[in-house]
Amino acid sequence: MKKLNKVALMFASVALATAAGAQTRVTAADGGNRIDNWVNGTGEIVWKNGTNELCWRNANWTPATAARGCDGALVAQAPAPAPAPMAAPAPGAAPAAPGARPPAPAAPQPPAATKVTYAADAFFDFDKSVLKPEGKAKLDDLVGKVKDINLEVIIAVGHTDSVGSDAYNQGLSVRRSEAVKAYL
């Protein structure tokens, strides 16, 4: 009987150690916690479906946490290397041939993504989809900041609470986003 108790105790200890190891969080290089919903615990493998075509997301996914190779349209591409400066022609050099073309202009820089976050209670009252005056003021401020920028896309991410059903909260989310869209 004592041998069975020792085996059970050893099994329970291993199970607890395994469960504790599964709860560890990945830490960032600066020592802070990092929420990474794309890669495994060691940061080496991007989680994909069985055919390696689609990346998995969880409820914490945002455009800011998009990984390279996944949702590439949302991740800013690395800028193209700048062309090497052209050397000035030597004095007394022959002029360019009449059929020579001027050098092509440099490629434009890819757009940079900027994340802006607002508290939901600043825009709407509980269970309502009508913009509050404070929400309108925040949207007016945002429009003032981006009016001189050529925007390609705005991604609005919003959530409701867990009080209502999924169908009701989805409808409320759509009504709220339509209210913001109409105001902008």
* pLDDT recorded at residue 44: 66
Give dist(CA 42, CA 48) in Å, integer. 16
Once rounded to an integer, what is the mean pLDDT over residues 157-175? Answer: 82
H or E, element range at 171: helix 166-183
Name the 3-class secondary structure at 122. Answer: helix
CA distances from 150 to 111, 114, 123, 153, 154 (A): 9, 13, 25, 9, 11
- Residue/partner pairs of 104-109 with CB below 8 Å, 24 or more apart: 106/82, 107/80, 109/79
Residues in the chain: 184
Residue 163 pLDDT exceeds 60:
yes
Show the DSSP H helices in 27-156 as ranges. 133-146
Task: Report pLDDT for 133.
Answer: 92
* Domains in the chain, CATH or no CATH each: 35-74 (no CATH), 111-184 (3.30.1330.60)
Cβ atoms 157, 62 nearer than 8 A? yes
166 contacts 158 by C-beta, under 8 angstroms: no
pLDDT tens, 20-40? 665 555 455 555 555 556 666
Are 76 and 109 spatial neighbours (Cβ–Cβ below 8 Å)? no
The percent of residues in the chain predicted with pLDDT above 90, rounded, is 3
- What integer best gives the mean pLDDT of the chain? 72
Quickly state the pLDDT bin for 75 (edges 50, 70, 90).
very low
- In the numeric block, the tokens 């709860």 are attached to 23
Whether the model clears a pTM of 0.85, i.e. scores above it, the answer is no
Measure the CA–CA gap between 166 and 2, rounded to whole angstroms: 53
